[in-house]
Structure 1
């Protein structure tokens, strides 16, 4: 039920991008498809933040996405800590690649993300973090791989996964306070090995 609600929330939220392959599966095949995408997404380039013993989330975001900035600003006001694996993509603006690289190269990526989102320019759809001036080829390839995977499989921003007792769950958009409490209750602190 939560998965169906997540899909409807994403379809109605006006999120950036187009629908991905995942949403073309028949409804009965969707749980298996979500688990497959979640397992593959854990091998992408990203960064961890938050306490190691907290419920875990895997979050796809673009540093120049206003919907993502809205998500992170609400997320940072939560009273429940989460362990986040952030996977940046470069889709929304030409500067997204440089900002994603700046996040991944930062000494403290979580602090860099907080700065980017707390200084977000909503009228211009630009993150507050200065984009990296040069992006090494290997890092550029990793960010492009993140982006291709996200666009092919999902196509909505922001979106995140968590592992519950019943398997992997996908949420699209920004949850409300009740949904966050439910996620905190059900999200596990460890992920199964792929």
Structure 2
């Protein structure tokens, strides 16, 4: 799959967001009125299945299996033994941050990007437009470059592909099963240890490789 260069101006604008951040529905609340509990809910978290516990390990494997059942599109080697799943909302600037960072590791790691409608009413039609595009990677790049530059993102298709809308709805329902409250949500399995976990928030490319055990 052909790689596309992420807009450098957009990358510069993302720097103000800071690393390891995510977008939650709480972000719609003005900062002046946000409660401490709501603010802490947007902090990135990582959950890893404990290998010493058979129950925890089984739960972790289920997380990874559930993510693999979602509808998305991939970047990186198609036959890679290392796959990381990313649930994203097309209106989320931190998802755009992660998309940009992921470009540096696509020769080593396969990432499956799973669009959901989570943050705003326009999220679902935008997600369906990306998923149904003839070239989802190009559509994603267009959207993330715009969002990173504080734009409105990709223009939803008209009419929308109903099959894609249904897939986005199913992805969103699946996302809700992970008890996550922000995007991007990264679901991974460490190839060295077998540990399975999830992480809320954008990370650097090196951390994506570490999640996969590379």
Tell me the TM-score normalized by structure 1. 0.72
Which residue pairs with 2:135 in the alignment? 108
Distance change >3 Å, CA 114–CA 47, structure 1 → 2: same
CA RMSD of aligned residues (A): 3.0
Mark the runs of 5 or more structure 2 residues left unpaired by the alignment.
1-19, 27-40
CA deviation map 1:23-64 (0-9, x unaligned): 99x986554323212212211211222222443111100111
Give the SS at the match of 2:23.
Answer: coil
1:92 aligns with one of 119, 135, 158: 119
1:132 paired with 2:140, answer no
The TM-score, its normalising length taken from structure 2, stands at: 0.66
Number of the residue aligned with 1:141: 166
Are 2:127 and 1:119 equivalent residues in the alignment?
no
Q: How does 1:1-194 map to 2 (within 5 A)?
A: 13=21, 15-17=23-25, 30-54=56-80, 55-78=82-105, 80-120=107-147, 123=150, 126-127=152-153, 129-153=154-178, 154-164=180-190, 165-176=193-204, 178-183=206-211, 186=213
Q: 1:160 to 1:135 in 2, by over 3 A?
A: same
Structure 1 unaligned residues grouped into runs of 5+? 1-11, 188-194
In the TM superposition, what is the alpha-carbon distance from 1:121 to its structure 2 partner?
5.3
Equivalent residue pairs, number: 169
SS at the partner of 1:86?
strand
User: Do the aligned residues in 2 keep the contact of 1:99 with 1:131 (CA within 8 Å)?
Assistant: yes
SS at match of 1:119: helix
Contact 2:63 2:187 (C-alpha < 8 Å) held by counterparts: no
Rounded Cα–Cα distance in structure 2 between residues aligned with 1:168 and 1:182 = 12
